[in-house]
Structure 1
Amino acid sequence: MKRIGLFLLTNLAVIVVLMIVWFVISSVFGLGRTMDYQAGTINLTSTLVLAAVFGFGGSLISLLMSKWIAKKSVGAQVIEQPSSEGERWLVETVQRQAREAGIGMPEVAIYDSPEINAFATGASRNKALVAVSTGLLSNMTRDEAEAVLGHEVGHIANGDMITLTLIQGVVNTFVIFFARIVGFFVDRMIFKNEEGPGIGFFVTTIVAEIIFGILASTIVMWFSRQREFRADDAGARLAGREKMIAALERLKLNYDRPSDMPAQMQAFGIFGRGGKFGRLFMSHPPLDERIAALRAAKGQAQVA
């Protein structure tokens, strides 16, 4: 219930902020109305700017709030001063890997969950967060955990959170843009509405956004799968290839355990489960493919 309330309040705040931003931009640049029902025309420039404000704005605000949302969503506790040998090892390992990867020291946190998982998030390569579950610390060896940490540090060093946000922003912009165009023409031409946006516009726009959003999400998921291969490679460089392979093998043994990570955070975890509608909607490649890619890279290195 707390997570649902947090989700609703966060999204409401984002919508209010974006509406204010749109009002300011449209007033300053004199963009005017996006649609003229009496003339039967749509202002493409204004519509595109509106779509960009909400498409990019939502993604950017989510990125800026990502650490705060992550901590609140899973109850992650940042290690300010290590209170045990295990916490000390965790902080020192991330510190070493961050130095080798050339990024600022991330915050290191632990969250209570039996699931073996970890994630990285943050708006900057130098102000990020790496969080691991208690389940990971309890069920993985130090070598395996070191590889997982290297994988997450790799995400930060590669700028994956920022790049994914920009891709999502572009996708959102075009989804909103084309959905509003479809909604306008259906409302104006089919329902013969000349008074202003009516029920035909709103229903059609919502349906179009759902359809376009589903199609566009395949692009985002494709990139998400590619970044996992790169992060695995980073984990192999920072911790050792065999350690990274062993960590993924360990994850295979726990694949069927239900996840308690919030949906908005699952794409940033060390692994994800199969998509409901097949591979196109998977945020992570199958573990067997990731292991095979690491072994193939090892073979190429030996030949070289």
Structure 2
Amino acid sequence: MNFYQAQDDARRSTWRLIALFVAAVLSLIVMTNLLVAVVYVWTGNHAMPTSISTAALLAQLPTEYWLTISVGVVAIVALASLFKFASLRGGGRSVAEALGGRLISPADSDTGRRRLLNVVEEMAIASGIAVPPVYVIDEPSINAFAAGFSPDDAVIGVNQGTLDHLSRNELQGVIGHEFSHILNGDTRINLNLIATLHGILFIGLVGWGILRAMGRGRRSSSSSGGAPVMALGFGLLIIGYAGSFFGNLIKAAVSRQREYLADAAAVQFTRNPDGIASALKKIGGLSFGSAMSSSAAAEASHMFFGQCQALFMNRLLSTHPPLERRIRAVDPSWNGEFTPVEADRAAMAAGQSSQSLGAQLSDHQRAVHLPDHGQAPEDVSDRVAQQVGQLHQQALDHAVAIISATESTLREAAHDPWAARGLIHAMLLDDRDDIRRTQLQHLAANTEPVVFQQVGQLADVARTLDEGQKLVLVEMSMPALKELSHNQFRRFMENAITLINADARVDLFEWVLHRLLVKELHPHFEGPARVRARYATIDKVAEPARVLLSALAREQGDAASFDAGMHALGIQGALDDQHDPNFARLNDALRELRRLKPLAKPQLIKACAAVALAGDEPNARAYALLQGISAALDCPLPPFVVSAT
């Protein structure tokens, strides 16, 4: 699926969800007013209307009654939804913890969990997004989920049964499915669904609360006309069940087609339909299937890889297509037989390496193919824009090759919260001895001794890294950095800024690296920041675009590249070559550019590519800058662009 179109569809789906939510609330208002009207007629010795109709019953209520009831219903639903939104403020982490998930340490050495972490890491790097934290849920069934408002606060969760029963290829299929949800914006829709539907269902909880309260004081209520109140509570409970029915209808309508699309994306990512098909067949052959016992699973049912609960009117209300249809969609030759599953983790673990797939690649598979610059520049930049958010096997091979070629010392450092900070700081050390000495003096006085020791141990090897390798290590470090305390995070970011400013100038790659750290860590520690898309066309952000392209062109040292970028945008403007842009200027430009609507972003990415890849042989730094800027614009690129050949 086209990434930009998928993002736009997700944005439109959010508005459709709001429309459905409003319709549901209006229905609740009508039903609640009808219920109160019946109780009002019953308890007030009023004559029943001659014609039993909605209008006739509502006419029995004084105006101030139905106004109060209507406002009350809206207030209850709105407050319940807002409360749920607040409880989900932590993004994917909030969902994982509510489901009983346990965070897997990035340095975990258990064979099954290490295999899972490697698969997630490889797919994240191939997708161009930060490696998400991974959780395991103590459930024997085969299931998984992705949750988060954006890739920056997304998490992956799997059941223990998934680790116990799936091979590496099957696990790749399942995780590829979940990455499709992250990249296409489905996870944001799913969280919005949880919060909005909670408000609709809360009316039923009010009714249940009334019944429980009346039950505890049954004697008192029976002697003081408590029957009408119980009738009101029972009626609200019925309305709540009706809300639950329509809520599940909404979830089913939103979710089913996206499950088919995610299955197809997983096949495209791995080029192996047998992986996801085999995982689905094992769900059918396992006694537990994909069922979840957690009480919190019901409201998150639409997030899971497989149907997690049996529902009344299952075919109508199911959030997932039937298992048989999903299997046939990816394996048309399926014979209709599910795969029997033995509950024996040791047998599954036998022969399953916990190593990265990189150890299994041939030299040919390890090769990273860069764009063919014999093509016209417009063709190259077009191909770059088309790569954004795409899942494909060659990008996965590239990611595996990059990870496996990275020194084990650096990989291990990226997985440790102390060493990861030392690694990032070491990457920011200047090559000039005098500035480097000043930076080290600052770190010695302002960071923990363990972190400073890691800087010393990693500084020399970090010096040999090119910018592309640095970006990959930054993305690999994210799960470890998200284990920091809030104070450790603040100190880490303050030290990073000091290191960047040590030479009194802004290096563009340092700025990109800093923006990625802010973009990917800030939502975790400070709460997700919603970026509201406002601009439908590039001319609305002409000045911010000129600032960004000028910075890229200065990096290239080629004024002609700036002209190529502006031509790609279809706007006019002069190269801003009077001074290096400062942090504030670039940050302001980026903030506005992120507010472009999804369908306007391909033009901007194409323009950035036209500038960054100008010349006969762009180097690794140019690719890294392009990838980093694209990520900062919420347009993830694979580590290297795949050539036309």
Same fold flag (TM > 0.5): yes
Whether 2:304 is the aligned partner of 1:269: answer yes
**Farther-moved stretch of structure 1 (254-263 vs 75-84):** 254-263
Q: Name the structure 1 match of 2:119.
A: 93
For residues 57-206 of structure 1, the aligned pairs below 5 Å read 57-64=82-89, 67-71=93-97, 73-171=99-197, 201-206=232-237
From 234, 245, 248, the counterpart of 2:265: 234
Cα gap change, 1:74/1:169 in structure 2, threshold over 3 Å: closer, same or farther?
A: closer
Q: Name the structure 2 match of 1:291.
A: 327
Distance 1:69 1:174 in 2: 19
Cα gap change, 1:99/1:274 in structure 2, threshold over 3 Å: closer, same or farther?
A: same
* Cα displacement (A) at 1:87: 3.5
Normalising by structure 2, we get a TM-score of 0.34
Q: Name the structure 2 match of 1:254.
A: 286
* Cα displacement (A) at 1:123: 3.5
Q: 1:222, 1:280 within 8 Å by CA — same for their partners in 2? A: no
* Cα displacement (A) at 1:163: 0.7
Distance 1:242 1:286 in 2: 18
Distance 1:38 1:199 in 2: 24
From 253, 263, 278, the counterpart of 2:314: 278
Distance 1:94 1:45 in 2: 48
1:230-279 CA deviation, whole Å, 9 max, x = no partner? 22122222223232222212222115558454143362332115423321
Q: Name the structure 1 match of 2:248.
A: 217
Distance 1:244 1:72 in 2: 27
* Cα displacement (A) at 1:95: 1.8
Q: 1:63, 1:122 within 8 Å by CA — same for their partners in 2? A: no
Distance 1:165 1:73 in 2: 14
Cα gap change, 1:175/1:260 in structure 2, threshold over 3 Å: closer, same or farther?
A: closer
Corresponding letter in the other structure for 2:325: E
Cα gap change, 1:202/1:115 in structure 2, threshold over 3 Å: closer, same or farther?
A: closer
Distance 1:205 1:61 in 2: 25
Higher share of residues assigned strand: 1
Which structure 1 residue ranges, 5 or more long, are not aligned? 1-34, 181-196, 297-304
Percentage of matched positions with identical amino acids: 25
Q: Count how many residue pairs are aligned between Structure 1 and Structure 2.
A: 247
Distance 2:163 2:111 in 1: 12
Q: 1:64, 1:123 within 8 Å by CA — same for their partners in 2? A: no
Normalising by structure 1, we get a TM-score of 0.66
Cα gap change, 1:203/1:122 in structure 2, threshold over 3 Å: closer, same or farther?
A: same
* Cα displacement (A) at 1:223: 1.9
Cα gap change, 1:145/1:176 in structure 2, threshold over 3 Å: closer, same or farther?
A: closer
Distance 2:297 2:167 in 1: 24
1:183-222 CA deviation, whole Å, 9 max, x = no partner? xxxxxxxxxxxxxx96665443332222233133212123
* Cα displacement (A) at 1:94: 0.9
Q: Name the structure 2 match of 1:244.
A: 276
Distance 1:175 1:216 in 2: 8
Q: 1:104, 1:127 within 8 Å by CA — same for their partners in 2? A: no
Cα gap change, 1:131/1:212 in structure 2, threshold over 3 Å: closer, same or farther?
A: closer
Corresponding letter in the other structure for 1:109: Y
Which structure 2 residue ranges, 5 or more long, are not aligned? 1-35, 37-60, 207-227, 333-645
1:115-168 CA deviation, whole Å, 9 max, x = no partner? 222222234322122122332222211101111111122222222232123345
Distance 1:156 1:118 in 2: 13
